[in-house]
Structures are given as structure tokens and as C-alpha cells.
Amino acid sequence: MSEAQFLELVEQNQGIIYKLVALYARDAEEKKDLYQEILLYAWKGWPGFRGESSFSTWLYRISINSIFTHRRKRRRVDYTGTLDDHPAQVPHSSVQQEEALRLQQAIRQLSEIDRAVISFHLDGFGNPEIAEMLGITINHVAVKLHRCKQQVSNLLKQ
């Protein structure tokens, strides 16, 4: 499969990467680093992509593994507030968009693992898929998800 094909698929699914890097990056610089890192590792892993799962699921896995690996390399004091001075541009900013950004900020205040769990869930993955991607039991996913939802909902009420 060619480079052009790879880039096309990434472009179609780049919302996945945007959302994940926005949940984990501490600043604009790290956001770019994470994005680049994910692209490079996805490209390295691309020859091994057999199409057994959808490209988006594969990209999710690559992204989350890259993020956890990369963040260890430059661990600093974690910053869970608003992202940076160059936020993602939301077209036609509206009440809904503001609520979406508030949700993003609330999720950023969860633990690193919980951020992954809830973002997988919100993107439509079932508990068995989340369990497989993270390497934990389905029951553990259910427990974590329940707790995450409660935390997010409390944070949104504040």
C-alpha cells in the first residue's frame, strides 16, 4: 500500500488523533510532537496493517500506545487546564461547540488511563473492544467507565 493511500486514510480519520492529542498534550508544542509521533509510528506500523480491524480501530491503538510512550519521555508537571494559546479552531462557534470544549476540559482532568477509556467509549467502541485495546477485563472497563462518567458529569456541573 502506498504512502498516498496511507495519508488519505489518516486524513479521513484525523479527527481521532486530534481528539486524543487534545486530551493528553500539555501545550501547543507537545500537541504537535504527539501528532507527529503518532503519524510516524502509524507509518512504521502501516506495512503490518492487515485490515483485520478497521483502519480507525488500528489508528486508535497506535495513537494511544504512542501517546503513552511519548509522554513518558518528557514527563513534567501535568497540566489539566485549558490547552494552550493555539486552540483548535471550531467553525461557527456556538453554544454546542462551547459545551463540547467544556467536555474536553472535563475529560482532561481525569487520570491518563481514564481519559483513554472514556474517549474510546464516546467514539462508539463497546466494552469488549475497549478491554482488548487496553488489555484489561470487560468488568474492569465497565467499572472504570461508570466512575469516569460520574466524574465527568460532576465536573460539568461545577
Q: Is 54 in the site for other proteins (CB under 8 A)?
A: no
Q: Is 146 in the site for other proteins (CB under 8 A)?
A: no
* Cβ 81 vs Cβ 105: under 8 Å: yes
Q: Which long-range contacts (CB under 8 A, 24 or more apart) does 132-139 make?
A: 133/57, 133/60, 133/61, 133/64
Among 1, 5, 12, 18, binds other proteins (CB under 8 A): 18
The closest alpha carbon to 23, from 9, 11, 38, belongs to: 38
Min. distance of Cβ 2 from other proteins in angstroms?
11
The closest alpha carbon to 122, from 60, 78, 62, 70, belongs to: 60
Q: Which is nearer to other proteins, 127 or 152 (CB)?
A: 152
Q: Which three cell numbers stand for residue 42?
A: 502509524
74 DSSP assignment: T
Q: Is 79 in the site for other proteins (CB under 8 A)?
A: no
Residues that bind other proteins (CB under 8 A): 3, 7, 10-11, 14-15, 17-19, 21-22, 28, 31-33, 35-37, 39-41, 43-45, 48-49, 58, 61-62, 64-66, 68-73, 75, 86, 88-91, 96-97, 99-104, 111-113, 116, 119, 122-123, 132-136, 140, 143, 149, 152-153, 156
